[in-house]
Amino acid sequence: MLMLASTFIFSCADAVDQSAKAEDLAQTDDFDYQVEQFADIKVLRYQIPGWEDLSLKEQKLVYYLTQAGLSGRDIIWDQNYKHNLKIREALENIYTNYEGDKTTEDWKNFETYLKRVWFANGIHHHYSMDKIKPEFSKEYFNTLLTETNTLLSGEPYAVIFNNEDSKKVNLDESKGLVEGSAVNFYGDGVTAKDVEAFYAKKQSPDPNKPLAFGLNSKLVKENGEMVEKVYKSGGMYGDAIDKITFWLEKAQGVAENDQQAKALGLLIDYYNTGDLQTWDDYNIAWVNATEGNIDYINSFIEVYNDPLGYRGSYENIVQIKDFDMSKKMQVLEENVQWFEDNAPLMEEHKKKSVVGVTYKTVNVAGEAGDASPATPIGVNLPNSNWIRKTHGSKSVSLGNIINAYNNAGTTGRLQEFAYDEEEVALEEEYGQLADKLHTALHEVVGHASGQLNPGVGETKETLKSYASTLEEGRADLVGLYYLMDPKLEELGLVDDHEKLGKAAYDGYIRNGLMTQLIRLEPGANVEEAHMRNRQWVSAWVFEQGREEGIIEKVTKDGKTYFNITDYTALRGLFGELLKETQRIKSEGDYEAAKNLVEDYGVEVDKDIHKEVLERNAQFKSAPYSGFVNPVLVPEMDADGEITSIKVMQPVSFESQMLDYSKNYDVLPMEN
């Protein structure tokens, strides 16, 4: 069947089999952002503003790039866990073929489990990394398997119910960073020491331009030797990669300009060869492709899912420029050197010339892989430090995603956890703008700022498992430091920098010390890199300012609050921590990174956590949100040429997930 599907898709001139049932798609005039809610998940929709303003050629480019992204969907499932594809196939077969009683609690619990697995691209929670526990019995599951003639046995069956492979990404060194992680980046028997020893022997042709060793491969032991299984055509994930490049070649044929076409050509070459030098060449070409209305992210990129920070998760985001917002925010791009020059860093850690930072607000047209259903709201790439320094980077804010979040309704959590009415009023007036500017400063200035000391290796090698959270915290601190700077008012970005800064600081501390804890189960530690960075930043400044009372821990009516009494002093603490965090990165100080994260970012105050969960129980809105994607439906003429492309919306989460499995089920069950 895989061969037949392959023959079909490659013989099709311009369109994939868009066979979603008519009742599963809708054009919603009165747009409803809410799709559904289950467990701790809320699923939303987003619109694509400006679609009608694109030319047909531009719409084709977006369509082809979106199809390329979806063609790699199976990759992230397999990367997340070796048995995910088998488990997904079994669960979906049950869901579509079961004819028994669907009104029972057991069936409802099965449906919820499947939806949680869909949302997480596997059996581990997308944020906590813990294995998702089914709320139905093994006996009931056996009944479902039997009544639907579904086959699932051995490890893939047992792991649903047992305690094996309980953490997708384990950051507790005592359990073994690799050995304790279920993520499918390393073969059986491979240890963290094996990995470090393997890559210690790798040398880049130019030490000043280190290649991203390990980014696009799985490291396994074969006959006692360490071997990389490279993700490429003819290699690991080759079936999916061939589909990806099929659509990328079509995208190259309708590129907006020569530089964009050059970058797409290099990305195709990289997929075909797996060559990391080509990956660097592509990133340079992609950074320089700044003209045009369409852009994209596609490949093995972010390393958060690798406990050692080597391997990239498959990701795709297709973007259309938001012309109005990009013009307004271009001011940050034009003034990025001022921010670098005035940052509270040691002089030797500042860049003398920040090169080529481009910032745009974009509207997402489609996402796949690690960016879907849970999505970022801002992206800064490439991740290579030397490319950033020499050639610059691209920063984007996903405008329509942020807009969908803002229009999906409020929950009353602000009134519950804010200290007083002044804090509530500031958040209501300045909160959305503060969030938007913090994202912009984080991506444009934060990730682009600072430099490594000469001779210091890449942060994944020096800071190891702490590299990701240190980098995210560093970028957050850059944004926090400047959110209360009069420069923002001078640049016309805000009418009152002090009020904006106060709203931003209130929100950050409130979230870092309290409200983000609603995402954790009782007794859990903080695992996810961004959650860790928000906690260690907040906890560090709280402790450092404790004697002066810069942030007070207050009990009022039996409830705990954190009240900022001196915002200017808090800004100073953010600056001090930024200076130290940059020093840690610049010098590759592993012990300092470990101490900072372990002392402030991992353990949760159990009393506060219990209280937060109790106070949050009154709110029915789920703590995590993600999205279904709009469906781009091409209309064809008699010759099979696309004449127009309509934007439709899926009516349900399950209809989109089943449609994806039907149309983009590319890989074998074991890879």
Assess contact for 382 and 399: CB atoms under 8 A: no
Transcribe 182-201 into DSSP letters: -STTB-TT--HHHHHHHHHT
Taken in order 659, 665, 670, 671, the sign of the CA dihedral is negative
Transcribe 416-431 into DSSP letters: HHSSSHHHHHHHHHHH
Residue with tokens 């998760």: 313
pLDDT of the residue at 329: 77
Q: Taking the mean position of all CA atoms in its chain, how far away is CA 66?
A: 17
pLDDT of the residue at 545: 95
Q: How far apart are CA 250 and CA 68, in angstroms?
A: 9
pLDDT of the residue at 17: 46
What SS3 state is found at 512? helix
Rounded to 10 degrees, the C-alpha dihedral 375/377/381/385 comes to -100
What mean pLDDT is predicted for residues 304-324?
94
DSSP 300: E
pLDDT of the residue at 21: 54
Domain ranges (residues) in the chain = 40-72+168-319+354-407, 82-167, 412-619
564 DSSP β-pair partners: 551
Would you tell me the crossing angle of helices 421-440 and 467-482 to the nearest 10 degrees? 120
Per-residue pLDDT for 581 more than 90? yes
pLDDT of the residue at 325: 75
- Of 562, 563, 558, nearest to 611 by C-alpha is 558
What mean pLDDT is predicted for residues 223-241?
97
pLDDT of the residue at 31: 86
Which tokens hold the place of 607? Answer: 């009393």
What mean pLDDT is predicted for residues 116-122?
98
* Helix and strand numbers, DSSP H then E, in the chain: 26, 15
Which amino acid does the sequence have at 218? K
- Of 433, 439, 441, nearest to 499 by C-alpha is 433
Q: How far apart are CA 150 and CA 84, in angstroms?
A: 16
Which amino acid does the sequence have at 316? N
pLDDT of the residue at 328: 73
In our burial notation (b when 16+ CB lie closer than 10 A, e otherwise), range 46-78 reads bbbebbeebeeebbbbbbbbbbbbbbbbbbbbb
Per-residue pLDDT for 418 more than 80? yes
Give the pLDDT confidence of 121-175 residue by residue, as tens digits. 999 999 999 999 999 999 999 999 999 999 999 999 999 999 999 999 999 999 9
Question: Of 81-90, 318-327, 444-453, where does mean pLDDT reach its minimum?
Answer: 318-327
DSSP 244: H
Non-local (6+) Cβ contacts of 210 within 8 A are 204, 384, 386, 457, 458
Per-residue pLDDT for 6 more than 60? no
**Rounded to 5 degrees, what are φ and ψ at 631?**
-105, 120
Which tokens hold the place of 425? Answer: 């009023």
pLDDT band at 409 (very low <50, low <70, confident <90, very high): low
Question: Of 251-255, 269-273, 619-623, where does mean pLDDT reach its minimum?
Answer: 619-623
Per-residue pLDDT for 295 more than 70? yes
Per-residue pLDDT for 320 more than 80? yes
Per-residue pLDDT for 454 more than 90? yes
Percent of the chain with pLDDT over 90: 86
Non-local (6+) Cβ contacts of 642 within 8 A are 14, 15, 56, 60, 63, 634, 635, 636
Give the pLDDT confidence of 357-375 residue by residue, as tens digits. 888 889 999 999 999 999 9
Q: What CATH number should be reported for the domain whose range is 40-72+168-319+354-407?
A: 3.30.540.30
What mean pLDDT is predicted for residues 83-105?
98
**Rounded to 5 degrees, what are φ and ψ at 249?**
-65, -40
pLDDT of the residue at 1: 24
What mean pLDDT is predicted for residues 267-276?
98
Per the prediction, the chain carries an average pLDDT of 93
- Residue 289's Cβ-side half-sphere holds a number of Cα atoms within 13 Å equal to 27
User: What's the Cα-to-Cα distance from 652 to each of 24, 530, 628, rounded to whole Å?
Assistant: 7, 29, 8
Per-residue pLDDT for 279 more than 80? yes
**Rounded to 5 degrees, what are φ and ψ at 401?**
-70, -45
User: What's the Cα-to-Cα distance from 34 to each of 191, 406, 636, rounded to whole Å?
Assistant: 44, 12, 31
Helical H segments across 551-597, by residue range: 567-587, 590-597
Question: Of 233-242, 403-412, 469-478, where does mean pLDDT reach its minimum?
Answer: 403-412
Which tokens hold the place of 190? Answer: 């491979």
Per-residue pLDDT for 5 more than 50? no
pLDDT of the residue at 327: 76
650 DSSP β-pair partners: 25
pLDDT of the residue at 24: 61
Which tokens hold the place of 334? Answer: 């034009």
pLDDT band at 323 (very low <50, low <70, confident <90, very high): confident
307 DSSP β-pair partners: none
Residue with tokens 């852009």: 295
pTM of the shown model: 0.83
Give the pLDDT confidence of 9-61 residue by residue, as tens digits. 333 444 444 445 545 665 555 689 999 999 999 999 999 998 999 999 999 99
* Strand 551-556, strand 559-564: pairing: antiparallel
**Rounded to 5 degrees, what are φ and ψ at 328?**
-65, -40
More confident residue, 173 or 247: 247
Per-residue pLDDT for 7 more than 60? no
Which tokens hold the place of 76? Answer: 């992230």
pLDDT of the residue at 26: 58
Residue with tokens 């992680």: 181
Which tokens hold the place of 620? Answer: 């029915």
Q: How far apart are CA 571 and CA 290, in angstroms?
A: 34
Give the pLDDT confidence of 589-612 residue by residue, as tens digits. 999 999 999 999 999 999 999 999
Q: How many CB atoms lie within 10 A of CB 390?
A: 14
